[in-house]
């Protein structure tokens, strides 16, 4: 929100210069509100899967339009077997457009080679967080990689139809006792479909909550369809309050999984909604 700060600073200065009393009062109020907001703001992001049908350039354009400055990069934008040169080139493209790639994922891993590849990929990209799904059997090997590279991994829960991690509890029970750099990427939609209140999950699993996939659903049924944030049943106000309470330091990444050939209006509405909820917590 640095451009907002800039606007307000500019306003405050120009108002002071003009010496207009009534506007001074307004600007002061606005500055106070802004200070409060920054203190509690959750950091935004977007999950790369949202851009399944779009190139890196198209995705950057959509992120700039909606003022989203952080991405969890998905492999269709940067294949896992990319050369170091290619990895650096794509990362630099996001960086030069003002976008922080804060994680890579979701990366599925079924062999030790795939685990090693994911960690090397993250290391070359300069990332300290993988959002991944190693099989349960691979968790001890994954832990070794975490220790070797000092790169964290957030294991992503899927929904009730998933064999590996159908709910956040399945992730947590499997990583119990492992290095505390192995944690959870809580997908709130899959969690709700699995019958787990995502607000409760965020509170319960706070110390290991590294990343969030944020979405809304038209119901809490197992096969519930996604909808724009705020139109469905998800309690975003409760979730935002919970994240504040646990001093969540990660990002919340909106993963928008409808209108996938024309997602921009839905992405925009969804970020608008989350920003409106955040406003109220300021």
What residues make contact with its own copies under the rule CB under 8 A? 4, 7-8, 10-11, 14-15, 20, 22-23, 25-27, 29-30, 33, 65-67, 192, 195-197, 218-221, 224, 228-233, 235-238, 264-282
Token pair in block for residue 262: 């024309």
Q: 112 or 235: whose CB is closer to its own copies?
A: 235
Q: 185 or 277: whose CB is closer to its own copies?
A: 277
Q: 64 or 86: whose CB is closer to its own copies?
A: 64
Which positions ≥6 away from 81 have C-beta within 8 Å? 117
Tell me how far, at minimum, the Cβ of 131 lies from its own copies, in Å. Answer: 25
Tell me how far, at minimum, the Cβ of 275 lies from its own copies, in Å. Answer: 5
Cα dihedral across residues 33, 38, 40, 46: positive or negative = positive
Collapsing DSSP to helix, strand or coil, 52 comes out as: coil
Tell me how far, at minimum, the Cβ of 230 lies from its own copies, in Å. Answer: 5
CA-nearest of 163, 211, 215, 164 to 192 is 215
Quickly list DSSP for 233-252. S--HHHHHHHHHHTT--SEE
Tell me how far, at minimum, the Cβ of 42 lies from its own copies, in Å. Answer: 12
Say what the alpha-carbon torsion angle 72, 75, 81, 83 is, to the nearest 10 degrees: -60
10 Å Cβ neighbour count for 264?
15
Tell me how far, at minimum, the Cβ of 115 lies from its own copies, in Å. Answer: 33
Q: 1 or 80: whose CB is closer to its own copies?
A: 1
Q: How many CA atoms lie within 13 A of 83 on its CB side?
A: 3
Which H helix or E strand runs over 107?
Answer: strand 100-109
Q: 147 or 245: whose CB is closer to its own copies?
A: 245
Tell me how far, at minimum, the Cβ of 206 lies from its own copies, in Å. Answer: 20
Q: What is the CA radius of gyration of the chain?
A: 20
Q: 248 or 256: whose CB is closer to its own copies?
A: 256
Token pair in block for residue 153: 């991994």
10 Å Cβ neighbour count for 179?
14
Tell me how far, at minimum, the Cβ of 118 lies from its own copies, in Å. Answer: 34
Q: 79 or 218: whose CB is closer to its own copies?
A: 218
């Amino acid at each position: 929100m640095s451009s907002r700060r800039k606007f307000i600073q500019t306003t405050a200065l120009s108002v002071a210069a003009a010496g207009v009393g009534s506007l001074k009062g307004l600007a002061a109020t606005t500055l106070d509100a802004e200070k409060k907001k920054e203190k509690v703001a959750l950091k935004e992001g977007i999950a790369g899967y949202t851009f399944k049908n779009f190139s890196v350039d198209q995705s950057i354009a959509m992120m700039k339009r909606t003022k989203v400055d952080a991405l969890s990069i998905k492999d269709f934008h940067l294949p896992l077997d990319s050369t170091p040169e290619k990895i650096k080139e794509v990362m630099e493209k996001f960086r030069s457009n003002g976008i922080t790639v804060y994680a890579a994922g979701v990366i599925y891993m079924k062999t030790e080679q795939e685990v090693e590849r994911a960690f090397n990929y993250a290391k070359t990209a300069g990332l300290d967080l993988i959002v991944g799904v190693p099989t349960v059997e691979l968790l001890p090997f994954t832990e070794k990689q975490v220790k070797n590279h000092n790169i964290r991994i957030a294991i992503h829960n899927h929904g009730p139809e998933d064999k590996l991690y159908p709910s956040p509890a399945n992730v947590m029970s499997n990583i119990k006792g492992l290095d505390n750099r192995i944690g959870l990427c809580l997908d709130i939609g899959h969690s709700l479909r699995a019958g787990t209140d995502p607000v409760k999950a965020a509170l319960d699993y706070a110390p290991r909550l590294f990343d969030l996939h944020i979405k809304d659903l038209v119901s809490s049924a197992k096969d519930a369809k996604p909808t724009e944030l705020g139109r469905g049943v998800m309690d975003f106000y409760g979730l935002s309050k919970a994240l504040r309470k646990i001093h969540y330091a990660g990002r919340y990444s909106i993963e928008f999984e409808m209108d996938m050939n024309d997602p921009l209006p839905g992405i925009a509405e969804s970020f608008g909604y989350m920003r409106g909820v955040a406003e109220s917590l300021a």
